[in-house]
Amino acid sequence: MRGSRIQQNLLLSGNSGLCLTAGLGESEICGSNALVAQLDRAPDYGSGGWGFESSRARHPLMALLFPLRPPASPQERDQRIMELALREAQLAADRDEVPVGAVVVRGNEILARAGNRVEELKDATAHAEMLALTSAFEAAGEKRLVDAELFVTLEPCIQCAGAILHARLARVVFGATDPKFGGVVSLTQIFELDGLNHRVLHEGGLFADESASLLRDFFRAKRKASPS
């Protein structure tokens, strides 16, 4: 099953190295104003603007994370990476998928990014984190992603938290919490279980309002569209 997922992920990879860094040039404005502008431009992602070909998990041959302007602080670094995850979440919503996006980075390199594709792949496990991790393994040519970080717009579920442990990620940063399925701080705290041979640093709440807003808007539209 994992091999077929890797094949599916790579089919649409295209020229993703250029796509990944398209919005990180000198002219990019970072922070909340930039985030609002990016979400406002969401319908244009595929037709011009950012030039994204697909939000299927991609491995961009180690694309540089900040090729033109490095962040001024660790906080700005995290914000700019999470903005990429939010774009993936918006693209997922545009495909009628639950809007969750994920980005895997290591140092100054993007290993992969993805959005949910549960509906498209008819696979309940095809969460953004799982797809991004699978693609990152392929990009790095490694079975573990030591020192890598995952940025995701929604708290990883139990499944994804387990996969993160297996991948040996160093750190996870997420946006909104998930009271029903969250495996990091909400429903359970998988990273804190006794007996684990690996520890993952984790932080939540980065762009939590924006992440939650995408989810609320998506499910509100679903309820309006469903017959009463």
Looking at the annotation, which residues are catalytic? 129
Burial 75-107 (b: 16+ CB within 10 A, else e): eebbbbbbbbbbbbbbbbbebebbbbbbbbbbe
In terms of Cα–Cα distance, which of 22, 100, 36, 35 is closest to 66? 22
Please identify which residue in the block is written with the tokens 């070909």.
53
CA atoms within 13 A of residue 101's CA, in its CB half-sphere? 28
Whole-number Å distance between alpha carbons of 76 and 92? 25
Element at 111 (helix H, strand E) = strand 109-115
The pairing of strands 171-176 and 149-154 is parallel
